Amino acid sequence: MKSLHLQIRFLVPLLATLTVAALLALPLLDQMTLRWFSRDLSARGAMVAKTLSLAISDIEPGAKRERLRALLERGVLDERLVGIAFCSADDRQVLSTKGFPDTLSCKEARDVAGQKDPRLDLASGAVHIGVFPVSPQQADSDRLVLLHDLSLPDRRSVDTRRYMIIFITILGLAIAGITMIVAQISWRGWVSGMRAIMRGEGLVRPLLQNGGGPAPDSAPPELQPLEVEIRRHLRELEDNFYREHGPLTPWDPERLRGLLRTELRGDQVIVVSNREPYIHLRGPDGISVSRPASGLVTAVEPVMRACSGTWIAHGSGNADQEVVDANDRVAVPPDTQDYVLRRIWLTAEEEEGYYQGFANEGLWPLCHVAHVRPVFRESDWAQYRAVNQRFADAVVAEARSDDPVVLVQDYHFALLPAMVREKLPKATIITFWHIPWPNPESFGICPWRRELLQGMLGSTILGFHTRFHCKNFTETVDRYLEARIEHEHSTISYQGEPTLVQSYPISIAWPTDDERAQWPTPAAAREAVFARLGLAPDTMLAVGVDRFDYTKGILERLHAVERLLEKHPEWQGRFVIVQVAAPTRSALDEYREFQDRIQRVTERINLRFGQSGYKPVHLLAEHHDHAALMALYRAADMCVVTSLHDGMNLVCKEFIAARDDEQGVLILSRFAGAARELPEALVINPYHVEETTDALHRAATMPPQEQRERMASLRMTVREFNVYRWAGRMLADAGQWRLRERITRRVQRRSREGAEAMIP
């Protein structure tokens, strides 16, 4: 019914258009028909006149008048001729036939005949007048005037008009009928096509199937552009919804706690790391608490807050011993006391050998392959083994059951998993390697490569940031140990004990609404930062936040800034990079030399491009508190991460989380694990100074709308792939593993009991 209504609405204008066209066309058609007839009559008249002229020339002069009359009377026997007159050269009528009107003179006839339409309306009807010379060769020839009846053409014209109206009406009705049928069919197709699209059939189905041919039930071709358009709009709506609301079941502390309650049944969680999450320091005003600059701490702390376990770490603060209890424990964080920090004390020799020596001079450069030679000393290795054992003993001492969940953090404890496994065979040991894992050849230069691999394979689960690192590790084991590798299940079985090797990209805790409420607005942050650093209001501000480490690509970053000022002089006086370089490992020569070098390069660039009140590089080589970092992130126009090699890099994720105004550009090294998750950043090769320079320029000139698009997308990723997901996925895998272990043990026990019962 609805479609009929629609079609009538469509047909009425169509019929109206046809009627108007017919009304306009008919007079034209009339005129045209009459013109044809007129031309036809002229030709016909000429022929009759010629015949008569020949006959007239044969008449003898004596019999002329009578013979002429008889000739003309014979001529008018033709039904279409009304009358004929014979006129002399001086327009005198010599004689005329009966039908020739008396009122029509030769002169008038000649005048009418000379017109375009030689038509004359008489009382008896309309006539066509033709005037023809009897002897065309003579200038003063006598003339014949022929009057043709025009009623016939008029009648024909009326007939033509009637036929035309009938024809146009039939044509109109036929067009309308066909249109109705086609419209009916297309309308049904459209409606069903649109319904299919709205149901999502045309949207979720792949458009191409079977080697590139269209999907058999894809939308009809005329609907495909519409389908593409609807698909795009729906995707945009979906994206906006997703951006605003996040995933339907987001990973947050509550979900993580739920997982610990259900999948791990509240089992004890013990974290082991070198760096402690809180450092107690004695200063002139008494004891204060500080948070170290460490990606590991940034990531693991929120997880511990959620699961209330025990964190075992090296007590490195000068007031640490003063605040612990008799078992070297202290509840942290100071305000909420969510979990227990168990501190391990290291002697100066232990710290030097295990931490500075083997871990930081050996394993750190070994795994980063950042063109700094690893140093391996026998004495460092001995300390490394001893300290790993001390921490392993502490884990055993802290365990309240024989099967705790132990989270081992980083390259400082490669040997610890096997050591704990020896004492607590049923423990679930999850080791997470926060730094990259190199290829087998690079790792092979370590004299104790086999021992390190054996130690790590004491883990139940071994996690890296990226699949690429997992692959490198598996290949390294394949190269140096006798182990069974099952690529399909991502497991390595060494001496009959399986280890799951998986990638778990680490992240940050997404800021809560309460946290965000404490933040200054970007404008206020900018004002404060600009005032503190004495920057001009039109400054284009880039920030870098790193530990002062040679792997972070700080030198390459400075070279790119220098090149930018050379290549684009318009930025001189306006482009500023603020580089936070938190002091780290300064006891090591390699670090001291690197840090000195950065100081020198900074001074050189500032000397070269600085002006009164302007220096392009602000190197802040000191530890900043969290609020100061937030202010910088929010004040900046761009954040620059140029690591030469980085397991993940959390600074880029912190910058993204800080930009709830969806402004600011992230420049990110492709050698940071984060680059695999954050392609909307400007991804660069930090070794290529020109490329980084161009990225700085592009970031500085990027329109706000593009910044918004990129930042919104980055924020969506970091919010969803947060640190609770990182921990949750590892703990969920651990939970499944424990379930399988329990079932296997039950099955084995029952079959053993069954076998014993069989013995008489």
Residues 298-337 that bind ligand GDG (CB under 6 A): 298-299
* Dihedral sign for Cα atoms in the order 224, 230, 234, 235: positive
Give the interface segment with ligand GDG, choosing from 70-78, 255-263, 640-648, 747-755 (CB under 6 A): 640-648
List Cβ neighbours of 145 (8 Å cut-off, separation of 6 or more). Answer: 84, 85, 86, 87, 96, 100, 104, 106, 109, 110, 113, 129, 130, 131
Crossing angle of the two packed helices 626-635 and 651-658, in degrees rounded to 10? 70
Enumerate residues 427-446 that contact ligand GDG by CB under 6 A: 434-435
* Residue 658 found at the interface with ligand GDG (CB under 6 A): no
Residues 262-301 that bind ligand GDG (CB under 6 A): 291, 293-296, 298-299
Q: How far is the CB of 506 from ligand GDG (least distance, A)?
A: 4
Least Å distance, CB 616 to ligand GDG, is 21
The closest alpha carbon to 393, from 344, 456, 460, 447, belongs to 344
* Binding residue for ligand GDG, selected from 629, 630, 631, 667, defined by CB under 6 A: 629
Quick one: 223 or 456, whose CB is closer to ligand GDG? 456
Select 131 or 658, whichever has its Cβ closest to ligand GDG. 658
Task: Provide the minimum distance between the beta carbon of 646 and ligand GDG in the complex, in angstroms, as a whole number.
Answer: 4
- Selected range binding ligand GDG among 91-99, 348-356, 519-527, 647-655, rule: CB under 6 A: 647-655
CB of 543 vs ligand GDG, minimal distance in Å: 11
Cβ-count burial 222-250 (b if 16+ within 10 Å, e if not) = ebbebbeebbeeeeeeeeeeeeeebeeee
Residue of 307, 367, 430, 545 that binds ligand GDG (CB under 6 A): 545
Q: CB 613 → ligand GDG: shortest distance, Å?
A: 26
Torsion angle of C-alpha atoms 99, 105, 111, 112, degrees rounded to 10: -30
Does 489 help bind ligand GDG (rule: CB under 6 A)?
A: no
Beta bridge partners of 619: 579
Joined together, the tokens standing for residue 179 give 């249109």
Closer Cβ to ligand GDG, 157 or 649, answer by number: 649
**Is the distance from CB of 579 to CB of 554 less than 8 angstroms?**
yes
Collapsed DSSP state (helix, strand, coil) of residue 395: helix
Full strand arrangement of the beta sheet holding 93-96: 93-96, 81-87, 143-149, 125-133, 119-122
CB of 676 to ligand GDG, least distance (A): 13
Residue with nearest beta carbon to ligand GDG = 295
Query: Which of 505, 647, 664, 728 touches ligand GDG (CB under 6 A)?
Result: 647
Say how far apart CA 205 and CA 199 lie, in whole Å.
Answer: 11
**Alpha carbon of residue 243 to chain centroid:** 13
Cα–Cα distance for residue pair 17/304, rounded to 1 Å: 79
Judged by CB under 6 A, how many residues of this single chain contact ligand GDG? 26
Binding mask 131-170 for ligand GDG (x = CB under 6 A): ----------------------------------------
Residues contacting 480, CB < 8 A, separation 6+: 440, 444, 449, 450, 453
Is there a contact between 684 and 667 (Cβ–Cβ < 8 Å)?
yes
Of 587-626, binders to ligand GDG (CB under 6 A) are 623-626
Binding of ligand GDG at residue 532 (CB under 6 A)? no
| Shortest Cβ 435–ligand GDG spacing (Å) | 5
The phi, psi pair for 152, rounded to 5°, reads: -65, -55
649 near 643, Cβ under 8 Å?
A: yes
- Of 218 and 409, which CB lies nearer to ligand GDG in the complex structure? 409
* Window contacting ligand GDG (CB under 6 A); options: 443-451, 466-474, 565-573, 649-657: 649-657
Q: Which is nearer to ligand GDG, 153 or 292 (CB)?
A: 292
Contact between 304 and 253 (Cβ < 8 Å): no
- Piece of 21-29, 88-96, 469-477, 643-651 that binds ligand GDG (CB under 6 A): 643-651
* Residue 658 CA, distance from chain mean position: 22
Beta pairing class for 428-432 and 461-464: parallel
Window of 144-152, 411-419, 492-500, 648-656 that interacts with ligand GDG by CB under 6 A: 648-656
- Interface residues with ligand GDG (CB under 6 A) are 291, 293-296, 298-299, 434-435, 506, 545, 547, 580, 582, 623-626, 629, 646-651, 654
